Amino acid sequence: MSTLDHRPAGTGRLTSFGRGLLRFARTQPFGSIALGVIIIFVLAALFAPLIAPYDPVAQHRDAIQLPPSGEFWLGTDDLGRDVFSRVLYGARTSLLVALATLATGGVLGSVIGIFSGYFGGRWIDSVLQRVMDTLMAIPGIVLLLFVAALLGPSVRNTIIALSLLVIPSFNRVARGQMLQIREELYVTAARANGCGVLRILRTHGLPNLLAPMLVVMSLMLAIVMIAESALSFLGVGTPPPTPSWGLMLSDGSRYMEIAPWMVVFPGGMLAVAVLAFNLLGDALRDFFDPKQIR
């Protein structure tokens, strides 16, 4: 019996994933750097309670608006709260809101797009796409402000508002890809063999949609983070005293001349995170492009 027969189940799949990851690092250097930055961002958010030197909502009344120092690495804000700790916990808030938004709005938009694309040209496709057109016709900031103001400021309501924003984007990409997939010969053969709609979508639709949806997900993460910060900045997003980069920017904007660190550090973290997700999305798009595969 050959040694290949003794490999654990899934080893070949892991090896293939490793080769793909190495090829991504070799062909997409900027994307690899962006991925590394995102991993650091995620780890910092996950281990914020272990990294942060202070409670993010604790007020040090004898340390109001102190500049960065050995005791307070990124300074303190107008209430004496440690900016470094709040930046770390703000990363947790942004990550939580972004992932929850994609888990709700992204999944819902993808499901609608898949079914709409598979039944393209029928009444169900027309009805679903008219609903999506209605959502897309409303300016994003107007839709966000209306829903957030209607529901009230909270993390949950912010996720609901942002989910409505991302549904049309995922729907459009999923529907466009599904319109192409349903015309492929292997789908026609599956229909001829008596495969049902759900089985075709599960075995042929979802695997072929994975690559483009990963690209959209990466790009939408950046948009959701900006939108969440905008809502919090305007006072209808994450409520205080929950740490949020948008809230920190809103509070610090009043003291830019005397305490610029209150704006520079949360704004810089937001800019770096958004740039990293955008670079990763562009790299994934080029990496999965068949014309780029050699």
CATH code linked to domain 27-56+66-292? 1.10.3720.10
Kindly write down the DSSP assignment for every residue of 193-257, as one continuous string: TT--HHHHIIIIIHHHHHHHHHHHHHHHHHHHHHHHHHHHHHTSSSPTTS--HHHHHHHHGGGTT
Two structure tokens written together for 135: 């959502």
Helices and strands (H and E) in the chain: how many: 13, 0
Question: For residue 161, which of 138, 180, 177, 183 has the smallest C-alpha distance?
Answer: 138
Measured CA to CA, the distance from residue 207 to residue 32 in angstroms comes to 24
pLDDT of residue 291: 58
Measured CA to CA, the distance from residue 268 to residue 275 in angstroms comes to 10
Each residue's pLDDT tens digit, 182-198: 888 888 887 888 777 77
Each residue's pLDDT tens digit, 26-70: 888 898 999 999 999 999 999 999 999 999 999 998 989 999 998
Q: What is the pTM of this model?
A: 0.84
Each residue's pLDDT tens digit, 119-140: 877 788 888 888 888 888 888 8
**200 φ, ψ to 5°?**
-65, -45
Residues 201-240 as b or e (16 or more Cβ within 10 Å = b)? beebbeebbeebbbbbbbbbbbbbbbbbbbbbbbebbbbe
H or E stretch including 56? Answer: none
Average pLDDT, the chain: 86
pLDDT of residue 149: 81
Measured CA to CA, the distance from residue 176 to residue 253 in angstroms comes to 42
Two structure tokens written together for 282: 């562009």
Question: For residue 171, which of 144, 224, 222, 134 has the smallest C-alpha distance?
Answer: 134
Two structure tokens written together for 70: 């050995």
Rg of the chain taking only CA atoms, in angstroms: 23
Each residue's pLDDT tens digit, 61-103: 898 999 999 899 999 999 999 999 999 999 999 999 999 999 9
Query: Residue 66: which region, alpha, beta or left (left: phi > 0; alpha: psi -120 to 50)?
Result: beta
Neighbours of 291 (CB within 10 A): 6
| CA 266 from centre of chain | 18
What ranges do the domains of the chain cover? 27-56+66-292
Q: Using the structure block, give the residue that is written with the tokens 């027309």.
A: 126
Two structure tokens written together for 255: 């003291």
Burial of 16 (0-12, 13-18, 19+ CB in 10 A): exposed
Two structure tokens written together for 181: 């997939």
Measured CA to CA, the distance from residue 151 to residue 236 in angstroms comes to 9
Measured CA to CA, the distance from residue 283 to residue 289 in angstroms comes to 10
